[in-house]
Structure 1
């Protein structure tokens, strides 16, 4: 009986190898992608983009390392050991949550105690290059991420002009899957527009999806129109919609 079970197990393993099945593929459906070029963080769950957040990264490019890492620890209200400031203290620069990643330079390359995604007591720094290497988020944003991101998921850090959808395909995150909320819309959008169609547009442009067509969205639309050889008027009409959803 034991021999029969062993033969069956070996058969299943060989079948998996022949089909190219990798256990890690399931984990790739959940990932964090950080783009230092625009200081944004994207969270993928079940192979789909859930949210894009503004972040702060290193004061110089080499302070926040680039590559593929892993989320290895999660701490609520982590103390600021360097200055002896307890967790939860308004003076604590680590904010409400800490998500540690194992990058070269931490203790044994596995601890996640040196580099991490964390909150901040300096919200004005978000969107800028301000940290000593960590990735800062607004406290409400890092709490949202902390509650959803599982340990051991991949964390990709890059500096790229590519969209998050392009980066996700490159990294094999949610490959061949439609990104959440990337439905098309038929209305013309312009500065001052509000609603779900604006949020869809914003997610497609990989910017904060707050559903309000403000200055950031206007800049992103004009940049996209210029890249496609369209009139950069900031109005999302038929030609711009077609270019957006033909990618």
Structure 2
């Protein structure tokens, strides 16, 4: 009997410790989504780290408001409704899914996710999910943990004020600009995630780059020139601000 009591006490303290650790880990970062300006703020160690443009529900009621949690993380989630596999350029869910738990759901209905229509970012257009640029949701996905709190609201207050109203501690930090169109110019020979985004956009709009590999080769150059010609842009194969805006690329 004495041994059973000791085991029970040890198990209790082990469970209590696990709970404290998990709570502390989740509390070190949180996300605020403000539907009044369609912006998402990411906090880490009580400091505002980044602010992103997002898209939310086309009706105010579609994107639920309240305090939720990230309950799952999925790379290249299939679009089951349209029978489109994960990783397909046609997939409207993009390449990363951060599932949320509003309205009794568990990460299968609502999420912060990428998309294959970058021109929708900043608009009220979704069925309830929060859309981000693919490369920006990748950045967020790589940082946030399961259990991270997500506050969704419609407010005219600052992110710090919204955080305080929801019991989140913040420390003063410098203003963080909202991400916008990148100044990086892409051309033949360029490599990286920005080229992958370019290739996804071109492919989704019917300009075949013959692969999404992150390398700006002859096929991507040809697709860019076709796109530029169709949109009355300078046909030079160089993806600068004008071509990016026409593509809806950040």
- CA contact under 8 A between 1:40 and 1:54: conserved in structure 2? yes
Deviations 1:198-237 (A, max 9, x none): xx4xx2xxx4157x9xxxxxxxxxxxxxxxxxxxxxxxxx
Q: CA deviation at 1:113?
A: 0.5
Distance 2:48 2:6 in 1: 44
Normalised to the residue count of structure 1, the TM-score between the two structures is: 0.63
Matched residue, 1:245: none
- Choose from 131, 136, 146 the match for 1:151: 146
Deviations 1:126-182 (A, max 9, x none): 001010100000000000010001011111100000111111122222x15233xx2
Kindly tell me: are residues 160 and 49 of structure 1, through their superposed partners in 2, closer, same or farther at Cα, counting changes over 3 Å? same
Q: CA deviation at 1:44?
A: 1.1
Extract unaligned runs of 5+ from structure 1: 183-199, 213-247
Matched residue, 1:125: 120
Matched residue, 2:201: none
- Choose from 115, 119, 129 the match for 1:134: 129
Distance 1:159 1:128 in 2: 14
Is it true that 1:39 corresponds to 2:38 in the alignment? yes
Matched residue, 1:67: 66
- CA contact under 8 A between 1:72 and 1:110: conserved in structure 2? no
Equivalent positions of 1:70-219 (< 5 A) are 70-104=69-103, 109-173=104-168, 175-179=169-173, 182=174, 200=175, 203=176, 207-208=177-178
Distance 2:142 2:32 in 1: 17
Matched residue, 1:58: 57
Normalised to the residue count of structure 2, the TM-score between the two structures is: 0.63
Equivalent positions of 1:13-32 (< 5 A) are 24=23, 26-32=25-31
Runs of 4+ in 1 over 4 A off after TM superposition: 1-11
Kindly tell me: are residues 111 and 5 of structure 1, through their superposed partners in 2, closer, same or farther at Cα, counting changes over 3 Å? closer
Kindly tell me: are residues 30 and 91 of structure 1, through their superposed partners in 2, closer, same or farther at Cα, counting changes over 3 Å? same
Q: CA deviation at 1:110?
A: 4.3
Q: How many residues are aligned here?
A: 177
Matched residue, 2:186: none
Matched residue, 2:234: none
Kindly tell me: are residues 83 and 9 of structure 1, through their superposed partners in 2, closer, same or farther at Cα, counting changes over 3 Å? closer
- CA contact under 8 A between 1:29 and 1:48: conserved in structure 2? no
